[in-house]
Amino acid sequence: MPDSVLTPPSEYSPLRAVLISALVLAVVGVAVFFLNPRKTAELKVTHEDLFAPHIKYAAMTGDGAHVVGAAEQGEDDLYVVATVRLENKLRLPIFPNSWAATMITPEDTVAEATPVSPQEYPRLLQSFPQLAPMLTHPIASDAKAAPGKTIEGTVLLLFPNVTADLWKKKKSAALTLTLAHQDPQTAVLP
């Protein structure tokens, strides 16, 4: 009895399946590229206030003794209150972790700022009540920017041994925000 063939011989080529797979992957890749945000967040300094107290020490004290006739000493510090705006470009919440700032002086030296935590504001405002109107809405250490939302507030930076005149003559200054689980964001301080 002869063999009966019920289907015609197949002319299957794997090239067609490979081309269709490559086309599907290319469409998915293009969709992911265009639909996902390219930036994590956008940090912008919208305003800055300066407070530059000059503190004079009339006499030195040490080990519980008061030194009479000691030369008067002074200290110049600069407090920069930066009003910042952080816009979340992701579909996930972002969490500000820490702040840092640097300044390049006219002599090309780098001055680094110490960020002042909002928990330290009450003690600082006892010494310098002039800062109170500038610190209207500090960004809390547990702040969170919801997906697509913006947080705005103030950040207090202390530049030790820097005067307001030196700040005005600076070559540049930058504020850097470190985000939890994301790349740091940097903005120019005016």
In a domain, 9, yes or no: no
Task: State the total domains in the chain.
Answer: 1
DSSP β-bridge partners for residue 45? 84
In a domain, 6, yes or no: no
In a domain, 71, yes or no: yes
Spatial CA neighbour of 79 closest among 174, 188, 162: 162
pLDDT at 155 over 80: yes
Neighbours of 84 (CB within 10 A): 23
pLDDT in tens, 3-21: 666 666 666 677 888 888 9
Q: What pLDDT sits at residue 24?
A: 92
pLDDT at 179 over 90: no
Sign of the dihedral defined by the CA atoms of residues 41, 47, 51, 52, in that order: positive
Range of the domain at 171: 41-188
pTM of the model: 0.73
CATH number assigned to the domain comprising residue 63 = 2.60.40
Spatial CA neighbour of 98 closest among 81, 82, 84, 117: 117
